[in-house]
Structure 1
Amino acid sequence: MKKIVVHVREDGHEKIEEVLEGLHYTISLVQDIYQITIYTPEENLDDLIEKIQAVLDLRYNENIIEVSTPEFVISSLLKRAEKKVEKKEEKTPVEKLLDTVKDYGTLDLEKLSLTSIAGLVALSGLLLDNQTIIIGAMLLSPIMGPIYGFSVYAALGRIENAMRCLGVLAALLLGVLVLSAIASFLINLVIPLTMTDEIATRLVVNPIYTIMAVLLGFAAVVAFNRGTSEVIAGVAIAAAIIPPTVVAGLVLVLQPMSLITTALLVAGQVVGLIAGALVAVTVLKIKPRDTRDQNIARRYMTWSVAMIVLLIVLLLWISWLMWS
């Protein structure tokens, strides 16, 4: 159950009431501002917000739409309404999505620290040939955020925000690469390092890795959109991208001739994850409310998909040549 409170000027409340015809709501007048309160089943929230927003002139500061979730509501009327509501495809409101991803386009010390620590833990797991440690390192990494943020912003046509998310992703991965290279160099001065099986498996380019990344990106974005914890949904993405990036830093010190192979593997994983994320937001029908904004978003999405498809085809071709 959701609670919607609409604050509207006196000259606009009649249009709101027309939209709410047939629904139960209360209305009060406070200092020339009408306050309309509606309770609605969550399945109807997005459609109702869209109808209200279509007739509410948000250019006026007094006009506000406020949505909240009450702890509980006791009402026989609302109980009957919930029973009558048609089961619809679950859909997260655009405003909530924007609020969820607003921090993913900003690089801060916390993100950088967590990703760097995850990289160092993964490095220790790779050197010890311990898969459990490698997987455990993924719980620390916030890599999921920028990829999810990019896909949502791209779907909504906010290309500047989307590019900021890609910038954050690049900075985080660069930090892991540099830190793992420095750590490998320092450790190698004291204890000669050798290539373990866990490292060796990430020195082989295989087109299947890119396909796997597409599936992981799709699954993680769908899970995250449905309210799954970022830590849980992000483990799959981090597991696909952090270890290869760490290996790239390690071979930079121990085996520079393998750097091209590891770079291709990392690139394939990144592009695959982004492709899967874009497919997910398309399937989830994430788009702006305004028709004009939808046209702009469609244009940006088409451009983004075309670029990703081109990169995937190129990487798969190169991977196939090197694999075969």
Structure 2
Amino acid sequence: MPLKMLQVTVPVAAEAHVKKIAASNSVVSCERLAELDGDHVQYVLLTRAGERQKVIDDIQKLLATSSRARINIMPVEATLPDVEAREAGDTREELMIKMRQGAHLDSGYLVLTLLSTIVALIGMVQDNVAVVIGAMVIAPLLGPNLAFAFGTSLGDKKLMSDAFTTAFTGMSVAIAMAAIVGMIWGELPESQELLGRTEVGLGGMALAAASGIAGVLSLTSGLSMTLVGVMVAVALLPPAATLGFMLGIKQWQLANGALLLLIVNVVCVNLAGLLVFFAKGIRPRLWFERRMATPYILSGMAVWSLLLLLLIFVIGATPS
């Protein structure tokens, strides 16, 4: 969303700093609301996307002056007279809230993963593309993958750990559920949708990379995640479900193909996400935090890139 309102509570002694920050960053408006009990005052700043991160970073330096100091970020649907603000985007702090939600592992996430796996298997076994797409809408696989890339770009070890645990658990649940269905089914169905997920090529890599790039661009621009969620789920859930199903019916060679496709997609999505976060300038606020995050960023790029090159070599050496 292009315009957002910052509701700022600071000590009265910091009023001049708030006004200076607003003036130096050319915010749309800066209005004093009221003086509060305990020598505090509230201001509201109407900000555009391009200036919002700098304003928040500067005001955060004032938060340490009082335990009551606070910044509330609120959406603005419209304002009159109209303000030209074409650029849309979320700040680092807003993205962090979304990423923590995406990396959160709870019963709801597990239930959605189970349901989407069952629906995806039904669609693939029946060669019903519409049903497979319906499963992709359910699948909550976008969050943990992008959260891991986001945590890497900030050097946030806890977020990276939570995201990895959630992503690994989700994949494991999908594979286990599909394996159970495969054991019950007992034979290989004649399904192009299913067999198509046992082969991997450069086209599959391009799909996963495009999904990761689209996901991060949508996220950082504050746009709806629905369509992007479908794209990433298409890249991740079907090969995971296919892998489990092939293991369940003991088709080891086809299972290897599905596993290779799943690994390729995970690597491409994470590498693309990390590169876009880096290109968009997502960094920690403090200089020493940025310095500590640099090894994580460089290591992440190096590891994902090397894995991708290794996978390209394996795919090229695998007989078709």
Residues 75-121 of structure 1: CA distance to partner in whole angstroms, max 9, x if unpaired? x6xx5xx35x7x6x543111111111222222111111111111111
**Is the Cα–Cα contact under 8 Å of residues 202 and 262 in structure 1 kept in the other structure?**
yes
Partner of 2:146: 148
**Is the Cα–Cα contact under 8 Å of residues 63 and 70 in structure 2 kept in the other structure?**
no
Amino acid corresponding to residue 142 of structure 1 in structure 2: P
Shift of 1:57: 4.1
Work out whether 1:178 is the aligned partner of 2:176.
Answer: yes
Partner of 1:116: 114
Deviating more after overlay: 89-98 vs 234-243: 89-98
Q: What secondary structure does 1:58 align onto?
A: helix
Shift of 1:72: 5.1
Assess, with a 3 A threshold, how the Cα gap between structure 1 residues 258 and 59 changes in structure 2: closer, same or farther.
farther
CA distance in 2, matches of 1:39, 1:259: 56
Higher Rg of the two aligned structures:
1
CA distance in 2, matches of 1:102, 1:194: 40
Assess, with a 3 A threshold, how the Cα gap between structure 1 residues 218 and 21 changes in structure 2: closer, same or farther.
closer
Residues 217-263 of structure 1: CA distance to partner in whole angstroms, max 9, x if unpaired? 11122123323333321101111111111111111132123322221
Shift of 1:59: 5.7
Partner of 2:165: 167
**Is the Cα–Cα contact under 8 Å of residues 154 and 301 in structure 1 kept in the other structure?**
yes
CA distance in 1, matches of 2:127, 2:76: 50
Amino acid corresponding to residue 7 of structure 2 in structure 1: V
Match for residue 293 of structure 1 among 283, 289, 292: 289
Deviating more after overlay: 8-17 vs 309-318: 8-17
Q: What secondary structure does 2:193 align onto?
A: helix
Shift of 1:27: 5.7
TM-score of the pair, normalised by structure 2: 0.88
Shift of 1:33: 2.6
Shift of 1:178: 0.6
Shift of 1:38: 3.0
CA distance in 2, matches of 1:296, 1:69: 32
- The unaligned stretches of length 5 or more in structure 2 are none
Amino acid corresponding to residue 300 of structure 1 in structure 2: Y
CA distance in 1, matches of 2:77, 2:129: 43
Match for residue 40 of structure 1 among 39, 42, 46: 46
Assess, with a 3 A threshold, how the Cα gap between structure 1 residues 176 and 45 changes in structure 2: closer, same or farther.
same
TM-score of the pair, normalised by structure 1: 0.87
Q: What secondary structure does 2:35 align onto?
A: strand
Deviating more after overlay: 5-14 vs 290-299: 5-14
Q: What secondary structure does 1:41 align onto?
A: strand
CA distance in 1, matches of 2:9, 2:143: 33
Partner of 2:59: 52
Residues 250-282 of structure 1: CA distance to partner in whole angstroms, max 9, x if unpaired? 111321233222211111111111111112212
Shift of 1:124: 1.2
Q: What secondary structure does 1:66 align onto?
A: strand
Alignment of 1:204-215 (within 5 A): 204-215=199-210
**Is the Cα–Cα contact under 8 Å of residues 206 and 323 in structure 1 kept in the other structure?**
no
Amino acid corresponding to residue 49 of structure 1 in structure 2: I
- The unaligned stretches of length 5 or more in structure 1 are none
- Aligned alpha-carbon RMSD (Å): 2.3
Partner of 1:135: 133
Work out whether 1:252 is the aligned partner of 2:250.
Answer: no
Partner of 1:196: 191
Work out whether 1:265 is the aligned partner of 2:265.
Answer: no
- Aligned residue pairs total 312
CA distance in 2, matches of 1:280, 1:46: 17
Alignment of 1:58-73 (within 5 A): 58=64, 60-70=66-76, 73=79
